[in-house]
Amino acid sequence: MEQKQKIINHARVEFVQKGFKNLSMDDISTALGISKKTLYKHFPSKEGLFEECVMSFFKQFGESLKGIILSDQPVIAKFLSFFVKASELSSTFNAGFWDDMRTNQPKIWTKVDEFRVDLIQKNFKFIVIQGQEEGVFRKYDAGIIVTTFLAIVREFINPHFLLQYNLTMKQAIVLCYSLLINATFTEKGKKEILKLRTELSNEILKDSLISAICDNIDEL
């Protein structure tokens, strides 16, 4: 692994644990056993390093979602793969990190928000259209479903919301998907998700995540 990537990987973990203000470039260079000159050669400022730590993760995250969309899986498998991939955010960034970013690096927070809006608008619509063809999504306008999902994500995956309701990132993500399923899925779609709880739990799904969604599905 090249030195620049090692710096990013280490700094990302440290920023999540300590916050932007409480982590210095000295801390990072000392922990990695490199000189400050070497660190600044790759990243002229702490702000630039922070932005790279956040945006490089989201760009990779976006590529993974595109791979799911372009796969030949049934739409339920794509939908739940999309969900499991989104849940990886919870193992990388916590509510405190989101709040710290929005407070201390608002420009980067804005970039993250714009990126996720673009990501959902460009990718999730394909899942909705395929789902309608397979009888999983109700026949609402696909654009309306996407806009609804986007509104839920922007409201719930938000530092103020997480802190106000004392939710973890994972709990908020489960809530987003549960609301979407109950509002826009057909009975057939809900039954297929319940069926997949056992069939795919050892492949693309994690038991705790899919069980959490299934527990929140309205009674059929």
Domains 1-44 and 55-215 belong to one CATH topology:
no
pLDDT at site 217: 86
Q: Rounded to the nearest 5°, which phi and psi values hold at 73?
A: -70, 155
CATH number of 55-215: 1.10.357
pTM of the full predicted structure?
0.80
Give residue limits of the domains in the chain.
Answer: 1-44, 55-215
Q: Which long-range contacts (CB under 8 A, 24 or more apart) does 153-158 make?
A: 153/116, 153/120, 154/113, 154/116, 154/117, 157/89, 157/98, 157/116, 158/98
Alpha helices in 71-105 (DSSP H): 75-92, 95-104
Q: Rounded to the nearest 5°, which phi and psi values hold at 93?
A: -125, 135
pLDDT tens string, the chain, 220 residues long: the values are 699 999 999 999 999 999 999 999 999 999 999 999 999 999 999 999 999 999 999 999 889 888 999 999 999 989 988 888 887 776 788 888 888 999 999 999 999 999 989 988 888 999 999 999 999 999 999 999 999 999 999 899 888 898 899 988 888 888 999 999 999 999 999 998 888 766 654 554 455 677 788 888 876 5
pLDDT at site 84: 81
Q: Mind giving me the DSSP string for 164-178? A: HTT--HHHHHHHHHH
> Domain spanning 1-44: which CATH class is it, in words?
mainly alpha
Say how many C-beta atoms besides its own lie within 10 A of residue 195's C-beta: 12
Q: Which H helix or E strand runs over 139? A: none
pLDDT at site 147: 94
* Residues whose CB falls within 8 Å of the CB of residue 17, separated by 6 or more in sequence, listed in order: none
